[in-house]
């Protein structure tokens, strides 16, 4: 028996996602060294060693002199579905083609509604987001909740074909109907339901999901509300969350308060992809709204000719028992507007430009 060189508490990460990352790497590359595996693995070398030993013990992989291979003749049944789906994706994967297919599928998407403060990211951004979720193995045979989805990221995730269940909750009933129609036409396992995030999360969706994705309003109350709904949806340690945040309407002081909220709720921040989502001006058709934006009013500016609005993607993961706060928001004004909302239609109060 090989000597064990470690003695630390087992991490939740080793329960599934780490093993899946190893198997996916060995599917793409027939042989991989310990260091090649480490380069693609989300975790410590101790956790990697644990997962490798577990996979060897299960008969899924074999090793010689620090080089690893799949044992196709003895892969356990519970890994075969993932391997089949990943092989199919590897045969057909082409990000340009995925973006093209995403655009074709979503060509009839509803126009953004200003009463819901909607504005969707580009097709390229949505597919890149889904790809990042896939690389982290947060879609691997997983349940994913999207709290708001005018970006149609649920469709992009479905194109990777590995999520077992995707649920969308959105206040826009037209969008809900459209997503369900797409799911039916393309045989995607997506279910969409009308939902106002100011209402409690339905009990059926609490402690149920492996990951959540959301693009929350950028007020402090809005961020805390949407994140708290996401926290409540997750199963527990090892579950992940994804959300967008800008430097355009969220100061670093606000970032700090949100980071503290995340950390004190039992999560850590694992990744930040700066300005990874871009919002197309032409497709969103915001021209009529710009006159009401404080930044335009302050400088008497003309509508932009570039896709200037961008958002960063933040990934978080639960590392201890999740603490869910009771966050209440009464009105849309509280949810969407604060003194930093300078690229928002501030219809609820007159802006004090001296703030």
Q: What is the pLDDT of residues 58-69, one digit of tens each?
A: 999 999 999 999
Last residue of a domain, one of 61, 85, 109: 85
Give the residue-averaged pLDDT of 5-15.
Answer: 42
Q: Which domain holds residue 261?
A: 94-336
Q: Is position 353 within any domain?
A: no
Determine the Cα–Cα distance for residues 333 and 219; give it in Å rounded to an integer: 10
Residues constituting the chain: 355
Determine the Cα–Cα distance for residues 347 and 165; give it in Å rounded to an integer: 38
**78 and 118: one domain?**
no
**142 and 249: one domain?**
yes
Average pLDDT of every residue of the chain: 91
Q: Is position 349 within any domain?
A: no
pTM for the structure as a whole: 0.92
**138 and 61: one domain?**
no
**263 and 182: one domain?**
yes
Q: What is the CATH number of the domain that holds 287?
A: 3.40.50.150
**72 and 144: one domain?**
no
Q: If you compute the radius of gyration of the chain from its CA atoms, what whole number of angstroms results? A: 22
Tens digit of each residue's pLDDT (9 = 90 or more) over 121-172: 999 999 999 999 999 999 999 999 999 999 999 999 999 999 999 999 999 9
**How distant, in Å, are the alpha carbons of 80, 154, 195, 202, 340 from that of 207?**
27, 20, 18, 11, 33
Give the residue-averaged pLDDT of 86-99.
Answer: 90
Give the residue-averaged pLDDT of 195-216.
Answer: 97
Q: Is position 159 within any domain?
A: yes
Give the residue-averaged pLDDT of 2-28.
Answer: 68
**40 and 78: one domain?**
yes
Q: Is position 126 within any domain?
A: yes
**156 and 253: one domain?**
yes
Q: What is the CATH number of the domain that holds 61?
A: 1.10.10.10
**144 and 61: one domain?**
no
**199 and 306: one domain?**
yes
Higher-confidence position of 16 and 36: 36
Work out how many domains the chain is built from and give that number. Answer: 2
Structure tokens at 339: 């003194």
Measure the CA angle with vertex 166, ends 226 and 99; round to 5°.
Answer: 95
**81 and 123: one domain?**
no
Confidence check: pLDDT of 1 > 70? no
Tens digit of each residue's pLDDT (9 = 90 or more) over 287-306: 888 988 999 999 999 999 99
pLDDT score of 27: 94
């Amino acid at each position: 028996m090989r000597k064990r060189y470690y003695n630390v508490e087992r991490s939740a990460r080793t329960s599934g996602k780490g093993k899946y990352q190893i198997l996916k790497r060995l599917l793409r590359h027939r042989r991989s060294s310990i260091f090649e595996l480490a380069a693609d693995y989300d975790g410590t070398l101790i956790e990697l060693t644990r997962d490798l030993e577990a996979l060897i013990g299960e008969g899924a992989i074999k090793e010689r002199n620090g080089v690893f291979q799949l044992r196709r003749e003895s892969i356990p049944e519970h890994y075969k579905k993932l391997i089949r789906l990943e092989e199919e994706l590897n045969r057909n994967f082409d990000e340009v083609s995925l973006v093209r297919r995403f655009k074709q599928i979503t060509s009839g998407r509803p126009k953004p509604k200003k009463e819901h403060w909607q504005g969707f990211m580009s097709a390229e951004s949505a597919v890149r987001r889904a790809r990042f979720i896939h690389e982290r193995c947060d879609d691997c045979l997983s349940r994913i909740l999207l709290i708001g989805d005018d970006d149609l990221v649920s469709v992009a995730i479905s194109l990777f074909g590995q999520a077992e269940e995707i649920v969308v909750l959105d206040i826009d009933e037209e969008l809900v109907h459209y997503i369900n129609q797409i799911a039916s036409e393309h045989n995607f396992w997506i279910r969409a339901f009308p939902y106002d995030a100011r209402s409690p999360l339905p009990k059926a969706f609490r402690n149920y999901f492996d990951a959540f994705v959301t693009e929350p309003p950028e007020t402090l109350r809005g961020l805390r509300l949407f994140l708290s709904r996401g926290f409540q949806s997750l199963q527990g340690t090892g579950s992940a969350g994804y959300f967008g945040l800008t430097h355009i309407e969220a100061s670093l002081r606000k970032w700090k308060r949100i980071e503290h909220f995340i950390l004190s709720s039992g999560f850590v921040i694992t990744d930040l992809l700066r300005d990874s989502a871009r919002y197309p001006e032409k497709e969103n058709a915001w021209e009529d709204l710009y006159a009401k934006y404080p930044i335009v009013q302050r400088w008497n500016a003309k509508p932009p000719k570039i896709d200037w609005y961008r958002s960063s993607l933040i990934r978080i993961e639960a590392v201890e028992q999740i603490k869910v706060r009771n966050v209440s928001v009464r009105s849309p004004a509280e949810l969407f507007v604060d003194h930093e909302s300078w690229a928002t239609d501030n219809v609820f109060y007159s802006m004090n430009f001296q703030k």
